Structure 1
């Protein structure tokens, strides 16, 4: 129900206007004010949508009233009532936002027409506002999906040459030259905390938030120039831990990788953030990779960082034999180099921990790699390490065998049927209760492409079919196949097919 306030010092005018308006617009609630002072008081309480106001009143003029009410509520529509049709009044009224005017006396039909026209304007503005809010909500949801996809592609080496630059452009994030990764380890059954963490980190820093898989959330953090890396990371970690209601919650932990100078090197920082999680302190629930021992041991060419990178790839690709040969061979190198047993034990355990973390990332839940007994010699270290590696391989095999053979076909069908929606790797993973990393691995192994390539193919193939209908505009087709930006759609289409949608359509329809 709309509200209308009549402001006029003449009672007969007020009553006449009220009678006409209530009869013509029975759903409109009408109130009256006999002077400017009362009008100001009623505007603050009644909250009218429209005010019919006399310009010439004793005490406070109508223009003065409009000016003061505008300070409180600038969205009210005004219809000026005046017996004076001078230009200077009209000019001043227009500057204050008066939408129309009525001359004294006015016919009932003129009053009905003028009030009705202003009401129509209010209705149209309301619809426009609702459409704008709806579009903003849809765009915001779409950008969140874009954000998680960008993080997935950057961290897990699933970069799509067509999409990455355009996706980064859509996010409109002020990207700094330096960035780093923070990995958050959450307690079990912590899905409800994901939204709160996203809200918290976006308030605190310029961050891209990755998809929640298992109990981990990766963050790509862009370094602020005015802050040091450590101070920015510590502040953000402390803000995140506040979500848990306790900074010492034993189920929470945050690993922080080193700063890299471009997004191309962000995977290294991500791996470092996972490794930093092993540096657990009884008083602090976050740790920097750079705080590992500075005198890191090297023996016979052994370089822990190089091995860590190699292990990430071997485990992701299921090359367990290569992994076992690397670690067991390293034990032999340590023994031949007469490295102290306790040092060798520590280094091998660190590498086994790397393997365990990568398995968790994929979706496997292996047992924490711990030696069952105290290691007394190199032979025992070799034997027990072999057993631990076998346990990990079995856990990986059990996880893989639990996935149906036709799962990739089910996922393909799901993508085809839902390609027009805001579909992401995280959403697909939730649908099929699999790790997003594992799904991407299945696509690469069985189809030779990434999931986003397949999604793009589905969308563009559907777009090509829709172009056969001359009644559909390219803008309509853009939204119908699942894109939110016609320019982005055009760029992807041209990258795949070598010509723009407009050019393709002309060729398809035989117009050139």
Structure 2
């Protein structure tokens, strides 16, 4: 309902207008003020949408009162009421933003017509504002889903350039070509801080989904600020979010790379830095402990070798190679160094399992470096725990799960299916689903969804009554220009060219 304030120093005038309004606009909430000061107080207390303001009043006149109210109530509309039909008065009122005016005396019908017109405008503006707020809320939710999806795809798979480019255009995000990844290791119950973390990161980059206890963030470089300064500031602000929880957060920071294709490398570095950040509330740069990187691959296994063998279940081979590397380092390296490198390998294994949809506890050493025999026993324990988690996970995965996933996507391709929501439906990790598509289908999840939509679009194209805009929405897109861009990418023809060819073949 609309609140209306009648401001006039004459009681008879206020009562007359009030009677007219109650008879013609019964839903209005009415207030009265007999002078400017009282009007200011009532406006402050009730925030009326519309004020009928008498210009000529003792003390603070109508124009002065209007100006003072507008300082606090910017959205309030005014209709000036005056017996002075002079250009100067109305020019001042219009300059202040008055919507209309009523002359004294006026017929009841003229008062009703003028007020009714302004009320109608207010209601339309209110509806438009509510619509914009609803759209903004929907967009923010959609943006969050798109953001987490693209981070997941970039870090654990491959996103076609058309999707990343369009995503950045849709979010009006002009990213630097240089970026790095931060990984926050959050203890259990820390997910309650996800929205606060994302809110802080929004102006600097994209926040992924929380997998296990790891939250990845892609940070775009700021011009005019050094990498270390930008990363340190952001890391401290993020750590401050978790300070009140009483739990220790750690943040690993990867190095800067100049393309989306290399951002995954920064993610791996951030993971390793997280593992070596210790147990305190702190952050660590990857290159703080990478001085020995030249010899690292000679002493420990290659990353691709680990990933491939773990993914194919060759656990015994991995453990044998780890033992050989461990024995080699015992002859030449300090216990602290051996523990650091072994920790790195265990984290690589944990990360690979996460990709496969296997969630495990963080493989952390809770012993002080010194006794290498005890260190190896602890390594075997952590290794065995991850192996058992892998075996248990894949024992319970149905053989037809992938078929069910594909069928669901085909049937619901017109909907806004995010990788995250799909994962929840089938109770699998988004990373694991992404990997299943890459390994079993030869393409990623986004490309498969696009294929389904394009096949449906081709069928709809045969109905010449349907416009390209209608087809856009029916197959699951919200922007005809984007739909046309993707359609041409897949079919090598624009929608209009494809339909023209259809017409030619029918002829």
TM-score normalised to structure 1 length: 0.84
User: Cα distance, 1:259 vs. partner?
Assistant: 2.0
Alpha carbons of 1:452 and 1:71: their partners in 2 closer, same or farther (altered >3 Å)? same
Q: TM-score, normalised by structure 2?
A: 0.84
Which moves more between the two structures, 356-365 or 434-443? 356-365
Q: Which runs of 5+ in 2 are unaligned?
A: none
2:359 paired with 1:362: no
Q: How does 1:299-378 map to 2 (within 5 A)?
A: 302=298, 307-311=301-305, 313-314=307-308, 317-318=311-312, 320=314, 324=318, 327=321, 331=325, 334=328, 339=332, 347=341, 350-365=344-359, 368=363
CA contact (8 A) 1:314 1:323 kept: no
1:276–1:289 contact (8 Å) kept in structure 2:
yes
Aligned CA distance change for structure 1 residues 302 and 467 (closer, same or farther; 3 Å)? same
User: What is the SS of the residue equivalent to 2:291?
Assistant: coil
- 1:166 paired residue number: 166
1:236 corresponds, among 234, 237, 245, to: 234
Separation in 2, partners of 1:282, 1:329: 26
Partner of 2:22: 22
Q: Deviations along 1:362-413, whole A, 9 cap, x unmatched?
A: 332457498999767xxx98x9999987875554343223211121222223
- Is the contact between residue 311 and residue 356 of structure 2 (CA under 8 Å) also seen in structure 1? no
**Residue 215 of structure 1, aligned match among 213, 216, 220:** 213
Partners of 1:316 and 1:333 in 2: how far apart? Answer: 21
Task: Give the SS at the match of 2:398.
Answer: coil
CA contact (8 A) 2:356 2:432 kept: yes
- SS state at 1:159 partner: coil
**RMSD of aligned alpha carbons:** 3.9
Following the alignment from structure 1 to structure 2, what is the Cα–Cα distance between the partners of residues 225 and 316?
A: 40
Which position in structure 2 is the counterpart of 1:409? Answer: 403
Which string of whole-angstrom CA distances, capped at 9 and with x for unpartnered residues, describes residues 52-87 of structure 1?
223344444433332222222122222222334444
Q: Distance in 1 between matches of 2:465 and 2:92?
A: 48
Q: Which residue of 1 aligns with 2:107?
A: 107
2:92 alignment partner in structure 1: 92
| CA-CA distance at 1:31 after TM superposition | 2.6
Give the corresponding residue for 1:263: 260
**Alignment check: 8 A CA contact 1:315 1:359 kept:** no
- Specify the SS of the correspondent of 2:158: coil
Native 8 Å contact 2:355 2:431 kept in 1: yes
The residue number in structure 2 matching 1:288 is: 285
Would you say 1:457 and 2:455 are equivalent positions? no
Q: Distance in 2 between matches of 1:72 and 1:156?
A: 51
| Residues 460-483 of structure 1: CA deviation (Å, up to 9, x unaligned) | 444455556677654455445433
Q: Which residue of 1 aligns with 2:492?
A: 498
Match of 1:398 in 2: 392
The Cα of 1:118 is off from its aligned counterpart by 1.4
Are the structure 2 counterparts of residues 465 and 91 from structure 1 closer, same or farther at C-alpha, using a change threshold of 3 Å? farther
Aligned to 2:66: 66
Indicate yes or no: 2:419 matched with 1:425. Answer: yes
Question: How far apart, in 1, do the equivalents of 2:464 and 2:84 lie?
Answer: 56
Aligned partner of 2:182 in structure 1 is 182
CA distance 1:30–1:142, shift in 2 (3 Å):
same
Over 3 Å counting, the alpha-carbon distance change for 1:85 and 1:487 in structure 2 is: farther
**1:195-215 deviations in Å (ceiling 9; x for gaps):** 23222434xx60210111222
Please state whether the residue corresponding to 2:176 is helix, strand or coil.
coil
Report the CA distance shift for 1:91/1:357 in structure 2 as closer, same or farther (over 3 A): same
8 Å contact from structure 2 (residues 252, 277) kept in 1: no
- Distance verdict in 2 for CA 1:248–1:385, change over 3 Å: closer
Distance 2:26 2:381 in 1: 84
| Counterpart position of 1:439 | 433
Name 1:39's counterpart in structure 2.
39
SS of the counterpart of 1:242?
Answer: helix
Counterpart-to-counterpart distance in 2, 1:466 and 1:73: 52
Q: Give the Cα separation in 2 of the matches to 1:409 and 1:218.
A: 29
Q: 1:43 to 1:249 in 2, by over 3 A?
A: closer
Alpha-carbon distance, 1:143 to partner: 1.2
Distance 1:469-1:106 versus aligned 2 partners, 3 A rule: farther
Over 3 Å counting, the alpha-carbon distance change for 1:460 and 1:201 in structure 2 is same
For residue 457 of structure 1, report the CA deviation from its aligned partner.
2.7
